[in-house]
Amino acid sequence: MQQRIRTSGFTPTPVGDQHKKGVPLYKHPCHVPAGISGTEQVWGFTLIELLVVISIIGLLSSIVLTSVNSARAKARDARRIADLGQIRLALELYFDTNGYYPQSNCGWDCNGYRTSYDSGWDALAADLAPYIPSLPKDPINNGCPPWGAGCLSYSYGNVGRNTYPPQYDLTAHLEDASNPNRCGVKGWHFYFDNRGWCAASVPAGGYDPQIYEASSN
């Protein structure tokens, strides 16, 4: 008597019975007959099934990657705000000692800046050395000042002393377009003449709405 082999979900017909009934052993197009025993079951995927699985994996990967990139951008923005908070504290300590803020790259009462991607930042670090051991730089710190789109750096300057009130700009560029601390939400103004300088508050122009101005917080 031939023994029938039971597998999960069905009972395959032994080879002898299939031959008697004239039924081929491998009825599924993905069964591979070469080199297997009569009752061994071989399963596979059709090309369409493989393409569907690959498409689903690709879609899930893109969703996960987008979420990860968004989380990283938000984390960098949080660091930028924290960094500029530390620098602002050091600037206030400097002011308490000297009665004025450190100069920009052109001195005081002029439209000049020290930026985190060039040697001007080292000069600011030297001025603030008694109050902050290491002057932070932007996490990406590419080679352009933070006024325009895609320019990720820190900037300090436009420092008043004699002609203008003792004040300064301390600026970063935020990546997250939904960050509530960006200029597009705050609508900041120039401290020396109260004109709006953000694109959100200057319909005809202005600076990028992703700017974060620490001296105004």
pLDDT digits (tens, 9 = 90+) for 111-164: 999 999 999 999 999 999 999 999 999 999 999 999 888 899 999 999 999 999
Q: pLDDT of 26-54, one tens digit each?
A: 444 455 555 555 555 556 778 887 788 88
Residue 34 belongs to some domain of the structure: no
Residue 2 belongs to some domain of the structure: no
Residue 56 belongs to some domain of the structure: yes
Which amino acid appears at position 19 of this protein? H
* pLDDT over 70, % of the chain: 75
For residue 10, pLDDT over 60 is answered with no
What average pLDDT does the structure give for the chain? 81
Residue 20 belongs to some domain of the structure: no
pLDDT at 201 (0 to 100): 59
If you average pLDDT over residues 55-80, what whole number do you get?
84
If you average pLDDT over residues 15-31, what whole number do you get?
48
What total of structural domains would you count in the chain? 1
Residue 6 belongs to some domain of the structure: no
pLDDT at 25 (0 to 100): 47
Residue 155 belongs to some domain of the structure: yes
Residue 4 belongs to some domain of the structure: no
If you average pLDDT over residues 101-109, what whole number do you get?
96
Q: What is the span of the domain harbouring residue 135?
A: 48-216
pLDDT at 54 (0 to 100): 84
Residue 30 belongs to some domain of the structure: no
